[in-house]
Structure 1
Amino acid sequence: MALMATSALQAQHMNIGVKGGFNFYNVVNENNSDSESLPGFNVGLIGHFHLSDQFALQPELVFSTQGSKLSNNGDESHLNLNYLNIPILIQYMFDNGFRIFAGPQAGILLNAKSYTNNTEIDRTNDFNNMEIGASLGMSYINPNSNFGIDARYNVGLSDIYENDAQVAYNRGIQIGLFYLFKHK
């Protein structure tokens, strides 16, 4: 089956690209604590495989800064989470350059740090190494320039904490630019 899938993908049109942009992520707890979105960035690689004239498969490999900030009695703390996200998106491509997409996303935690009153604490061991989520969004590519813009909502479906005492999920919006080499 792997050989058949590889042959089918090789027979279709394939593009490689780069992407980068801004994140607005939050960690949503089950106890409904009042945390705020933390601005960040993402940068990565895109594979874009045309399955037909209107459908494409787009796997990505993206470094993403995520987390949240929380104010408590005048003290502001930040939770910074760095992930290597791997979304696999199915796209529907309209004839005018617009696209809509959805798909699963796996996130590999690279590190986790919290900052309160200029004190940094490594919290990587407090979090699961892997996160499962989903992505939903839309994009537009200008066929003449091969540049595009992308907007998506990422929702974590698995608990990010290692222990059972806390349950929380990543939620975030990403807005960015991408470039596909030799786009057709």
Structure 2
Amino acid sequence: MKKTILLFVFAIVTTLTAQAQMQAPGVGIRAGANYSGFSGDDADNLDRMFGFHAGLTSQFYLTSDNFFAIQPELLFSTKGAESKDDTFKYKISYLDVPVLARINAGPLYFEGGPQASFRIGGDIESNNVNIDDDLDQFKRTSFGYAAGIGLAATSLGLSIGVRYNGDISKLNENDNVSDARNDVFMLTLAYMFSGR
């Protein structure tokens, strides 16, 4: 975990150093809906459920025409899955830290890159009653990737997009229990305050 955190810090410092020679970074907010589930061999009996995400986004432009940027984010994100009859739910909260490469091609943008997720809370519910809020069976840190596409109104600072993020890491601490992983589709809105 320490090596991964150092890798993320190195990536951000490198980006900031390169950015110092370019224009000011864009800083903004992002929020939207999650449609999450678990993927893997042991997740066949579970359905997706709705959640949300919200947080900070930024863009460090690496070209003078803003065509290419590095986009680090810090997002609070609710994920999980539920039984097919909606009586049993896994509800898990994370801080997601994606560091994405972004291509701005006119009104269209494309993004993709690695993501680290840090579990900060959640519970397991049965018939809308909390039966377990000690989720130590789930890993505190997971690693994955994110990729998306969207439309941006650059002059207004607004964008809307769809994004998929999936974990490479297994969800459970005990590798003998399950190979389930987080699997999330996102509808996301962003507003950039600066750097437009």
Q: Which amino acid aligns with 1:109?
A: R
1:182 equivalent to 2:188? Answer no
Name 1:163's counterpart in structure 2: 174
SS of 2:19 mapped into structure 1: helix
Using the TM superposition, give the Cα deviation of residue 119 of structure 1 relative to its aligned residue in structure 2, in angstroms: 2.7
Using the TM superposition, give the Cα deviation of residue 4 of structure 1 relative to its aligned residue in structure 2, in angstroms: 6.5
Q: d(CA) in 2 for partners of 1:4 and 1:80? A: 36
CA change 1:136–1:10 in 2 (3 A) is: same
Using the TM superposition, give the Cα deviation of residue 7 of structure 1 relative to its aligned residue in structure 2, in angstroms: 2.9
TM-score, structure 1 as length reference: 0.91
Name 2:108's counterpart in structure 1: 98
Name 2:8's counterpart in structure 1: none
Q: Which amino acid aligns with 2:190?
A: F
Gaps of 5+ in 2: 1-10
Q: Which amino acid aligns with 1:141?
A: A
CA change 1:134–1:33 in 2 (3 A) is: same
Superposed, which structure 2 residues align to 1:1-184 within 5 Å? Answer: 6-13=16-23, 14-52=25-63, 53-71=66-84, 76-94=87-105, 96-120=106-130, 121-164=132-175, 165-184=177-196
% identity of equivalent residues? 27
Conservation of the 8 A alpha-carbon contact between 2:15 and 2:70: no
Using the TM superposition, give the Cα deviation of residue 76 of structure 1 relative to its aligned residue in structure 2, in angstroms: 1.4
Using the TM superposition, give the Cα deviation of residue 47 of structure 1 relative to its aligned residue in structure 2, in angstroms: 1.2
Q: d(CA) in 2 for partners of 1:128 and 1:68? A: 16
Q: d(CA) in 2 for partners of 1:3 and 1:119? A: 45
Deviations 1:156-180 (A, max 9, x none): 1100111122221000100021000
Higher strand share: 1
Deviations 1:136-168 (A, max 9, x none): 111221122111102101111100111122221
TM-score, structure 2 as length reference: 0.86
Runs of 4+ in 1 over 4 A off after TM superposition: 1-5
Q: d(CA) in 2 for partners of 1:127 and 1:34? A: 18
Conservation of the 8 A alpha-carbon contact between 2:163 and 2:188: no
Gaps of 5+ in 1: none
> Over aligned residues, Cα RMSD in angstroms?
1.9
SS of 1:125 mapped into structure 2: coil
Q: d(CA) in 1 for partners of 2:107 and 2:113? A: 20
How many residue pairs get aligned? The number is 181
Using the TM superposition, give the Cα deviation of residue 128 of structure 1 relative to its aligned residue in structure 2, in angstroms: 0.5
